[in-house]
Every structure is written in C-alpha cells, then in structure tokens.
Amino acid sequence: MLGKWLGKKSAPENDETFTAAEREQLQQFRIPGYEGPLPAAWFSRQGQQARLSLPFSAGPQVLEKLQQDAQLGHYQWQLDCQVEKLPNSQPELPLIYGNVIVISSGKGGVGKSSVAVQLAVALAENGASVGLLDADIYGPSLPTMLGGADEKQQINDQNKMQPHLRHGVYVSSLGFLADSKDAAIWRGPMASAALQQLFRDTAWPRLDYLIVDLPPGTGDIQLTIAQKLPVTGAVVVTTPQNVALADAEKGIAMFRKVGIPLTGLIENMSHYHCPACGHEEAIFGQHGGRKTAESHQVPLLAQLPLASPIRQALDQGQPLLTAEPQHPLNAAIREMATAVAAQLYQQAKKPV
C-alpha cells in the first residue's frame, strides 16, 4: 500500500539488452558452416536497432531468419562483418595475404576452378577484400571465367606483378602472363618454383581472403603449397560419383598428413537443374559427398547444382553472381561462401 502512495514504479526496460525469451531464441539461430549457437556477444541492440557482428565474411541473407522470427523480427537488424586474421601454416610470414584458402580436387573435371571463382566473387560481394591465385599453372582457366584473358598483367616499379581486378576480386594467373594457346610443359620443381614466384611477386593489396586454385591431384605443387605458403585451411571439391569420391579421399588424406587444416568438402554437380522446367536429377548419383564427409569427419560445406546458366556465365567471363545477381541459382553460391568463411573461423578457434 505504501508503494502505491509513494508512486512506486516498475524497473525501466533496458534498451541495450535482449529479454530472456529473446536470448533463448537467439540460441536457436544458426548460420551455414558454423556448428552450434553463435556466441551471445555477437548480438547487440540499442532500442529497435539490433546488430549481428561476425568476425568472418557473410552475406545479408543470414539475417533473413532473424527478420522473419516471431520474437526477433520487430527489430531492425544490421550485419557487421570484421574479418579476423586467423593462424596459418607459416606464422612467420606477414598477414597481408589474409586468410589463405586452398581449393583442391583429387582429380580433374569436377569443377574445382569454377567453385574457386564463385567462392571468391561471393566473398567479395559480401564486402571482403579478396584475392584469387590461379595455381593451376598447367591449365590456367580463371582468365576465361573472369574475363580479360587478353589483358596481360603489368609489372610495377618494384618489379611486382599487378593483379587484375575482376568482378571485385584481385586475380593473379599465369594465364594473364602467357599466350592462352601456349602449353606449360614444366617438370615438377620448375612448376613449384613458378607457383611460389606467382604468389610472392604479385603486388597483393591487404586482403581478408586469398583463394588459391590448385591443380588437381596430390603431387609436387600441393606439397609446395603445404610447406611454403601460409595456408589457413583447405577445401576439397568433388562430385557425387564414386570415381571422384575415391580421389577426394586421397586429397583429404594428403592435407591431414602435411598438417593443413581441412575446412571441409564441397560437392559440385550435386544434381542437374533443368532451366526450362526446374526439374532436378542426380545424374552423378546421390549422397556421395555427404557420406564421404561423414566417414572422414569433415564438414560438407555445400552441394552445388550442375546448371546451364552457371556454365554459360563463366564461359562468357561474367560469373552469374555479377551477371544476374537476382538469379535463384545464386542462393547456393552465397550460402557456400558463408559456410566456408564460418567454418574456417570456427576451426581456427577450436582448442588444440
């Protein structure tokens, strides 16, 4: 009764914290590639403004579940990505290369280079500073997929090669230095030396991520990468068919033997997507990538379709993300980029 006469009021609501129910709901929120709930410190709010702060690259599509949530959707959500430089295999080298992700495959023909290109473009679309190194020196295809194959790389006053800026990505490739019809007939040691020179003698800007497109297989160049370059993580690309999966397993084993963290597996050409009717057919088999990932205890980061619009865009030197940003097929590519960046970060932060 005394409280009534004294005008006692309930404690004011804190405009900078979430309610208990909202915090519980945030614990259920997930993003591709990150296992389990996100740390509570990554969520903040002030009044009706709410923010998700991530230490890795992600696209605005990760906010959709928050924006559509019955309890959390009334906030005006913003995404803030500040990419953290992670430990790598050569800690004595400067961190100007950012987080180095090598894209590998046990065999050719699985679409490794197209995955590398689309990953790089998607990360750049999210606002990250991204480099792309074409280490597939026997068959450099990135100039074709990114355009500008006839534009040669220039040498600056410091005798460094200037990377091309294509679709928001800084690209260095032997394909920009030699005639596109010339064959690179090099023995292993010469090829490995050329790769190191291409990496170190390119005038890279300060990067968040450097994507390295390796040649297929498990030979000299892959060993050079493991021993000489500051690698943060490796991604193995495969298709669902048994012959590709057997070679992918060799790639997984190789990275583990040389001590390179395995970020995960990407299953390319997971199914055929008909552009006319939208029908999907698993022409190379089903669940092969998932079973291989589970048996080797590595994350399955993405399952990308075999689709004519993706192939046509790359053939024309205009990745689908930039040629048709609203195309439905881009959703899987953007999700892949978030999954790779998130898993790369989470693995680096796991206690040894």
Could you give the percent of the chain with pLDDT greater than 90?
54
Task: Characterize the bridge pairing of strands 280-281 and 272-273.
Answer: antiparallel
* Confidence at residue 322, expressed as pLDDT on a 0 to 100 scale: 96
Q: What is the pTM of this model?
A: 0.90
Q: Is 175 annotated as a binding residue?
A: no
Mean pLDDT of the chain: 86
CA torsion, ordered 121, 312, 165, 138, to nearest 10 deg: 100
Whether pLDDT at 170 is above 50? yes
Q: Is 108 annotated as a binding residue?
A: yes
Higher pLDDT, 168 or 17: 168
Architecture of domain 95-349: 3-Layer(aba) Sandwich (3.40)
pLDDT in tens, 287-303: 788 888 888 899 999 99
Q: Is 3 annotated as a binding residue?
A: no
Q: Is 349 annotated as a binding residue?
A: no
Identity at 258, one-letter amino acid code? V
Q: Is 111 annotated as a binding residue?
A: yes
pLDDT in tens, 76-86: 999 999 999 99
Structure-token match 């065999």, residue found:
107
Binned at pLDDT 50, 70 and 90, residue 12 comes out as: very low
DSSP H helices in 44-159: 64-68, 112-125, 142-146
Could you give the percent of the chain with pLDDT greater than 70?
90
Dist CA 352 CA 350 (whole Å): 6
DSSP one-letter string for 210-279: EEEEPPSSSSHHHHHHHHHS-EEEEEEEE-SSHHHHHHHHHHHHHHHHTT--EEEEEE-S-SEE-TTT--
Domain ranges of the chain: 12-81, 95-349
